[in-house]
Amino acid sequence: MYQLPSDCLRVLRQDGDYDFKIFGNKVYSNESTCKIQYISKITDSAEFPIYFVNALAAQIAAVLAYGITQNATLSETMMKLAAVALKEAIYTDAQESVGIKPITGSFITARQTGSV
């Protein structure tokens, strides 16, 4: 049994080929070590990635634009800018994220090397 980190919001996956179960704030496994990847709770806004901050600011501006200016064109423009900022944030985050381990096996190896 292992205690989940106090800032753990959700476990994404475990590192390794072993079974584990999560009950409450504990991880149960028969292994001597247990490594996990998880989403952590960040409470210090200085730790937020800049692309997230930009996307959030654009979204707030888009939501407030019409209420402040009563200008539908400006509001629509801000919504489009917010959508672009969100796409950029998602793209940047995907580039920085750790990839999934590639599938391996005799069939994949045979296809890559051309031999069976």
Q: What is the tens place of the pLDDT at every residue in 42-89? A: 888 888 889 999 999 999 999 999 999 999 999 999 999 999 999 999
Domain identity same for 114 and 60: yes
Mean pLDDT, to the nearest integer, of 30-44?
Answer: 85
Q: What is the pLDDT of residue 99?
A: 57
Domain identity same for 31 and 53: no
Domain identity same for 57 and 114: yes
Domain identity same for 70 and 35: no
Q: What is the pLDDT of residue 116?
A: 47
Contact criterion met (CB below 8 Å) for 75 and 62: yes
Residue range of the domain that includes 76: 44-116
Give the number of domains in the chain. Answer: 2
Q: What is the pLDDT of residue 104?
A: 54
What is the band of 28 on the pLDDT scale with cuts at 50, 70, 90?
confident
The CA–CA distances, whole Å, from 102 to 12, 29, 64, 74 equal: 17, 24, 44, 46
**Residue 110 clears pLDDT 90, i.e. is over it:** no
The CA–CA distances, whole Å, from 63 to 38, 39, 48, 85, 86 equal: 31, 27, 21, 14, 14
If one counts every other C-beta atom within 10 angstroms of the C-beta of residue 89, the result is: 19
Domain identity same for 56 and 101: yes
Domain identity same for 104 and 87: yes
Domain identity same for 50 and 36: no
Domain identity same for 36 and 49: no
Q: How far apart are CA 37 and CA 59, in angstroms?
A: 29
What is the band of 30 on the pLDDT scale with cuts at 50, 70, 90?
confident
Q: What is the pLDDT of residue 64?
A: 95
Domain identity same for 27 and 49: no
What mean pLDDT value characterizes the chain? 82
Indicate the angle between helix axes 50-69 and 72-96, nearest 10 degrees. Answer: 170
Q: What is the pLDDT of residue 85?
A: 94
If one counts every other C-beta atom within 10 angstroms of the C-beta of residue 38, the result is: 16
Domain identity same for 49 and 81: yes
Whole-prediction pTM = 0.55
Q: How far apart are CA 87 and CA 14, in angstroms?
A: 28
